[in-house]
Amino acid sequence: MSRTRLERVRAAVGIASLALQQIEDDLSADDVDEEELAAILRELIEYTDPPGGFIPALAQLVTVAARRAEQIEPDRDGDASCPLHEAAAFLTDNAGQRLIWAARALHPQGDI
């Protein structure tokens, strides 16, 4: 295994963890109202370029891992890749939709 690759992954995960902690801190602020919370939830879905959003980007990362697992699984039986594909589908089909529902419930006038 490439030590440099693993170090890059650790660094990137560390940066992502710090960013998520900042979002969590912002969500915990006493002055967050319904409209702002809905806007934050929408940003998790639609931020950045297509396919866009944190949730879709995370699902894409898991899908790439699943595709790689398909190529290197010893028996090519799907023991590793199938759960990864399922996790990616759960993120986009379930988690993303639930964020949208929550945002609409909090502030139905939003863009999503």
Whether 63 has a pLDDT exceeding 90, the answer reads yes
What is the pTM (predicted TM-score) of this model? 0.77
Integer angstrom CA distances of residue 78 from 1, 14, 19, 85:
22, 29, 33, 10
Q: What is the DSSP string of 63-100?
A: HHHHHHHHHH-SS-SSTTHHHHHHHHHIIIIIIHHHHH
Q: What is the pLDDT, as a whole number, of residue 111?
A: 54
Q: What is the pLDDT of residues 28-57, one digit of tens each?
A: 999 999 999 999 988 888 754 456 678 888
**CB-based contact 84:59 (threshold 8 Å):** no
Kindly state the tokens that stand for 53: 């959003």
**CB-based contact 42:103 (threshold 8 Å):** yes
Q: What is the pLDDT of residues 98-111, one digit of tens each?
A: 888 999 999 987 55
C-alpha–C-alpha distance, residues 110 and 104, integer Å? 7
Q: What is the pLDDT, as a whole number, of residue 47?
A: 58
Across the chain, mean pLDDT equals 87
Q: What is the pLDDT of residues 6-32, one digit of tens each?
A: 999 999 999 999 999 999 999 999 999
**CB-based contact 58:41 (threshold 8 Å):** no
